[in-house]
A and B are shown apart, each in its own frame.
Chain A
Amino acid sequence: MNKNNLILYSVIIIFGLAAPFLLPAFKVQLSILCVLIVLATTWNIQGGEMGYNSFGNILFYGLGMYLCASVQVGMFFPLAEWTESGGEKTFVHTPAQFFQGMAVGLVVAAVVPTIVAGLIGYSILGLRGHYFAICTLGLGVAAGEISGGIEIIGAGQGFTTPPFPEVGSLDSRGEFFYFLSFFVLVLTFITVKGIYNTRFKLILNAIRDNEDKAEAMGIETMKYKIIGWMISAFFCGLAGGIMGGLVGYIDSTDVAFDGREMGVFMVLMAILGGKGTLWGPIIGATIFHIFKEGFWTFFLGWQYVALGVLIVVIVIYFPEGIMGWLREKYPERFGEVVDEKDRKAQVELK
Chain B
Amino acid sequence: MDFMVFQYPMISVQACLDGILLGILFALIAYGMALQWGVMNIINIAQGDLVILGGYIAYFMYLYGIHPAWGVIVAPVIMYFVGIVIYKLVINKVVDRDLFISILATFGISILFMQLMNFAFGADVVLANSDYGTTMLFNNNVVLPNSKIFSAFISILFAICLVIYMKKSKLGRAIRATAQNARAAKILGVDTEKVYAATFGINAALCGVAGALISITFTIHPYMGLPYTIRSFMIVIVAGLGNLPGVAMSGMGLGVFEEFADYILGTEFRIGSVFLLLVLILVYRRFKLSKKREYLK
- Residues of A that sit less than 8 Å from B by CB: 53, 123-124, 126-127, 129-131, 133-135, 137-139, 141-142, 144-146, 148-149, 155-156, 212, 215-216, 260, 264, 267, 271, 301-302, 304-305, 307-312, 315-316, 319
Contacts and interface: CB of A to CB of B under 8 A. Distances in A.
5 A-B pairs with least C-beta separation:
A308-B112, A311-B108, A145-B272, A142-B275, A304-B115
Contacts of A304: 111-112, 114-115, 118
Given A134-B233, A149-B266, A139 B112 contact: no
Nearest to A271: B104
Interface residues of B, number: 43
Given A130-B99, A307-B111, A308-B109, A138 B296 contact: no
23 contacts: A53-B100, A124-B279, A126-B290, A131-B237, A133-B99, A133-B103, A134-B278, A138-B282, A139-B275, A142-B278, A145-B269, A146-B269, A148-B272, A212-B296, A260-B114, A264-B111, A304-B115, A305-B119, A307-B108, A309-B108, A315-B94, A316-B90, A316-B94
A142 B279 contact: yes
A139 B109 contact: no
Contact of A126 (B112, B275, B286): B286
A26 B237 CA distance: 47
B218 interface: no
Interface string B17-33: 00000000000000000
Contacts of B103: 53, 130, 133-134
Classify the secondary structure of B's interface with A. Answer: helix
Contacts of A141: 226, 230, 271-272, 275
A133 B42 CA distance: 13
A145 B111 contact: no
B2 interface: no
B112 A135 contact: no
A154 to B, nearest CB: 13
Nearest to A302: B115
B282 A134 contact: yes
Interface of B: 43, 90, 93-94, 97, 99-101, 103-105, 107-116, 118-119, 226, 230, 233, 237, 266, 268-269, 271-272, 275-276, 278-279, 282-283, 285-287, 290, 296
A135 B279 contact: yes
Contacts of A124: 279, 283
Nearest to B233: A134
Given A123-B287, A139-B275, A311-B111, 5 more contacts: A126-B283, A130-B43, A138-B275, A141-B271, A316-B101
Contacts of B119: 301, 305
Contacts of A138: 230, 275-276, 278-279, 282
Q: Which of A129, A301, A311 has the most CB of B within 10 A?
A: A311
Given A141-B226, A307-B111, A309-B112, A146 B276 contact: yes
Nearest to B234: A138
A315 B269 contact: no
Q: Which of A131, A134, A264 has the most CB of B within 10 A?
A: A134
B291 to A, nearest CB: 11
Nearest to A267: B104
A264 B275 contact: no
B278 A135 contact: yes
Contacts of B107: 264, 311
A308 B115 contact: yes
Contacts of B230: 134, 137-138, 141
Contact of B282 (A127, A149, A308, A319): A127
Contact of A305 (B99, B112, B285): B112
A34 to B, nearest CB: 25
A269 to B, nearest CB: 13
A315 B45 CA distance: 14
A223 to B, nearest CB: 13
A131 to B, nearest CB: 6
Q: Which of A215, A304, A316, A319 has the most CB of B within 10 A?
A: A316
B57 to A, nearest CB: 20
